[in-house]
């Protein structure tokens, strides 16, 4: 069994070159954090809300060095790589379509010597996120040719879907387990203006969630407005003041989307999230 580690810009860290191998990977269950209050004169409590904490995970490693001197060089390389200061991505090769993001060493660790050149050790990591995320995004197709970045169990649709649409009404498919909320997760929606005008009204709505985004102001045909999280950008500059500050999220499964005639094309860029 092999666990792969990646840098913050998702480049593979080849720990085998260090003389290090992995042999186990265990992820904790979701960790709910309940906010509760006692009610005077009543038994029990009322739960006001629940959030999920970040996830912990443990990786088991072993070192097989050439000689005693090589062992200490390898040990020091491990300490340098897994120092807790920098975050990494973790991919369990048994689930090659998912990755754990913003993972850091969670506590100190010790190496157990088997003999002068071999040792084993476990490292506990923690992700800032409660969920794993897809390696693939909406810019990648779901075809069999992309089996390197997609896997079974990711909720992939049976029918073809497109995340770049010119229709006035269409379906957006969220393949993940949780709602994609732009206040919490990276989400870009690219809206293309349909015409040149000094004053035009553009609107995009998720009929499934009842959310909508609107813009009122000048446009040039073909201009792309980027809904990036809570901001609306044009050429990198914010035009949010000309919008209703509306946010659009996507529930798991199909979401019914509608646009008005002020918009010629809509493109969605995001990943999906899983327990």
Tell me the pLDDT tens digit for each residue of 112-134.
999 999 999 999 999 999 999 99
Q: Is the pLDDT of residue 206 over 90?
A: yes
Place 144 in a pLDDT band, splitting at 50, 70 and 90: low
Q: Is the pLDDT of residue 146 over 60?
A: no
* Residue 25, CB-side half-sphere exposure with 13 Å CA sphere: 16
Q: Is the pLDDT of residue 148 over 80?
A: no
What percentage of the chain reaches a pLDDT higher than 90? Answer: 88
Q: Is the pLDDT of residue 158 over 90?
A: no
Nearest to 22 by CA among 13, 31, 30: 13
pLDDT number for residue 163 = 97
Place 147 in a pLDDT band, splitting at 50, 70 and 90: low
Place 141 in a pLDDT band, splitting at 50, 70 and 90: confident
Which two tokens mark 185? 């997760």
Predicted TM-score of the model (pTM):
0.91
* Rounded-to-integer distance, Cα 173 and Cα 155, Å: 10
Average pLDDT over residues 64-71: 94
Average pLDDT over residues 259-267: 97
Is the separation of the CB atoms in 97 and 150 below 8 Å? Answer: yes
* Rounded-to-integer distance, Cα 101 and Cα 54, Å: 11
Alpha-carbon Rg of the chain, whole angstroms?
A: 24
Question: What is the DSSP track for the chain?
Answer: --EEEE-TT--EE-GGGGTEEEEEEEEPPP-EEEEEEE-TTSSSEEEEEEEE--EEEEEEEEEE-SSHHHHHHHHHHHHHHS-SSS-EEEEETTSTTEEEEEEEE-S---PEEEETTEEEEEEEEEESSSSEEESS-TTS--SGGGTTT--TTS---SS---SEE-SSEEEEEE-SSS-B-TTTS-EEEEEEE-S-EEEEEEEEEETTTTEEEEEEEEE-TT-EEEEETTEEEETTEE-GGGB------B-SEEEEEEE-TTEEEEEEEE--EE-
């Amino acid at each position: 069994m092999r666990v792969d580690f990646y840098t913050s810009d998702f480049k593979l860290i080849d720990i085998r070159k260090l003389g290090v191998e992995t042999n186990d990977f265990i992820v904790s269950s979701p960790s709910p954090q309940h906010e509760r209050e006692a009610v005077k004169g009543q038994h029990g409590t009322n739960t006001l809300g629940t959030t999920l904490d970040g996830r912990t995970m443990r990786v088991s490693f072993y070192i097989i060095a050439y000689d005693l001197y090589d062992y200490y060089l390898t040990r020091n390389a491990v300490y340098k790589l897994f120092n807790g200061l920098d975050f990494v991505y973790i991919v369990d090769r048994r689930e090659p379509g998912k990755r754990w993001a913003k993972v850091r060493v969670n506590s100190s660790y010790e190496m157990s010597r088997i003999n002068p050149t071999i040792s084993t050790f476990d490292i506990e990591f923690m992700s800032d996120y409660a969920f794993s995320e897809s390696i693939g995004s909406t810019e990648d197709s779901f075809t069999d040719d992309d089996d390197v970045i997609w896997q079974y169990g990711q909720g992939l649709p049976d029918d073809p879907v497109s995340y770049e649409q010119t229709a006035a009404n269409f379906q957006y498919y969220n393949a993940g387990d949780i709602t994609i909320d732009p206040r919490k997760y990276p989400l870009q929606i690219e809206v293309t203006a349909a015409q040149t005008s000094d004053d035009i009204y553009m609107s995009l709505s998720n009929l499934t969630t009842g959310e909508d985004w609107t813009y009122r102001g000048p446009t040039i045909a073909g201009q792309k407005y980027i809904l990036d999280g809570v901001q609306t950008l044009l050429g990198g500059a914010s035009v949010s003041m000309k919008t209703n500050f509306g946010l659009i999220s996507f529930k798991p499964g199909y979401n019914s989307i509608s646009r008005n005639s002020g918009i010629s094309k809509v493109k969605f860029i995001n990943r999906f999230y899983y327990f």
